[in-house]
């Protein structure tokens, strides 16, 4: 088997690399992962994960032509129910509970043949992706998997290299217009703001700018994206460590919008 490392954006929040899986798992939509284990990686880009349907014959899995290397992200896209288990350490094995979307650890299946450092323990927070319903009536699109938590009145979404903090204000109707909200926000923006942008739509005003790493208190690239309506606002700050994080943050910032009312 050959594996060509691709310079692509990682979908998963932290765990990356390639994995070995049966081709059926990646080509047949009716075949699910029923058995998986993690062994010591063969190289730095190897996650150590190996995936099977659980109904494969010994003859099938012993034939190299039936196995292939895939980016762990690819497997997560097709089989998202394994994502909560990907932080488990090497030398562990997991079996799907019959008829369920969850797995249980199989004790004693693997020997501790090699000591491999564990991944950082996974945060005990939900993992979210795609169209995310925010506090009513907001919505945004996530280009990759993020962890989600609430902190100090803000909704926080984070993954390696990127932390997004979203603040929501409701009941502004009759107190301050979206134009006044925009003006106040401009007055309090960082004096190091760059790439300032204002966009007028039928129901909202969008205001965004960037702050370079040299002028950020956190030592990272900071993007700000605010959306004001006469009834509610969302104010978001995106702290980015690298160019890929900036691209993800820009995608989320651009996607912030009101949900469509059901008719």
Per-residue confidence (pLDDT) for residue 219, from 0 to 100: 85
Domains in the chain: boundaries: 18-105, 127-258
Per-residue confidence (pLDDT) for residue 116, from 0 to 100: 54
Q: Is the peptide bond before 137 cis (omega within 30 degrees of 0)?
A: yes
Identify the three-state secondary structure at position 174. Answer: coil
Per-residue confidence (pLDDT) for residue 5, from 0 to 100: 36
Identify the three-state secondary structure at position 120. Answer: coil
Neighbours of 234 (CB within 10 A): 23
- Say what the pTM is: 0.78
Per-residue confidence (pLDDT) for residue 203, from 0 to 100: 85
Q: Taking every pair of C-alpha atoms in the chain, what is the biggest distance, in angstroms?
A: 72
Select from 24, 49, 54 the least CA-distant residue to 38. 49
CA distance 126 to 260: 25
**Helix runs in the chain, H state only:** 23-27, 58-61, 72-78, 178-188, 243-255
Select from 44, 54, 47 the least CA-distant residue to 20. 47
The β-bridge partners of 236 are 166, 225
Please, which residues have CB within 8 angstroms of residue 79's CB and are 6 or more apart in sequence?
Answer: 25, 32, 33, 51
The one-digit pLDDT tens for each residue of the chain (263 residues) are: 333 333 345 788 888 899 999 999 999 999 999 999 999 888 889 999 999 999 999 999 999 999 999 999 999 999 999 998 998 888 899 999 988 889 999 987 766 555 555 566 666 788 898 999 999 899 999 999 999 999 999 999 999 899 999 999 987 656 788 999 999 999 999 899 999 999 998 889 999 999 999 987 778 999 999 999 988 999 999 999 999 999 999 999 999 999 887 65
Per-residue confidence (pLDDT) for residue 111, from 0 to 100: 60
- Domain 127-258: CATH superfamily, name plus number: Mog1/PsbP, alpha/beta/alpha sandwich (3.40.1000.10)
């Amino acid at each position: 088997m050959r594996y060509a490392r691709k310079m692509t954006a990682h979908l998963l929040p932290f765990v990356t690399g390639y994995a070995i899986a049966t081709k059926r798992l990646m080509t047949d939509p009716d075949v699910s992962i029923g058995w998986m284990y993690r062994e010591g990686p063969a190289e730095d880009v190897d996650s150590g994960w190996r995936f099977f349907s659980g109904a494969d014959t010994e003859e099938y899995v012993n034939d190299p032509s039936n196995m292939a290397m895939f980016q762990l992200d690819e497997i997560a896209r097709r089989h998202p129910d394994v994502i909560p288990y990907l932080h488990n350490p090497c030398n562990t094995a997991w079996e799907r509970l019959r008829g369920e979307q969850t797995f249980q650890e199989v004790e004693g299946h693997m020997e501790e043949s090699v000591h491999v450092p564990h991944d950082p323990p996974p945060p005990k927070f939900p993992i979210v992706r795609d169209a995310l319903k925010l506090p009513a009536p907001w919505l945004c699109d996530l280009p990759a998997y993020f962890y989600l938590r609430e902190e100090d009145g803000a909704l926080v979404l984070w993954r390696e290299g990127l932390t997004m903090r979203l603040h929501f204000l409701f009941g502004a109707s009759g107190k301050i217009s979206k134009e006044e909200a925009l003006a106040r926000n401009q007055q309090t923006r960082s004096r190091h703001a760059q790439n300032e942008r204002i966009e007028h739509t039928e129901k909202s005003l969008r205001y965004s700018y960037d702050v370079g790493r040299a002028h950020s208190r956190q030592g990272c690239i900071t993007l700000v994206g605010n959306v004001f309506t006469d009834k509610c606002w969302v104010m978001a700050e995106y702290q980015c460590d690298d160019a890929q994080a900036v691209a993800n943050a820009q995608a989320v910032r651009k996607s912030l919008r009101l949900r469509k009312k059901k008719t």
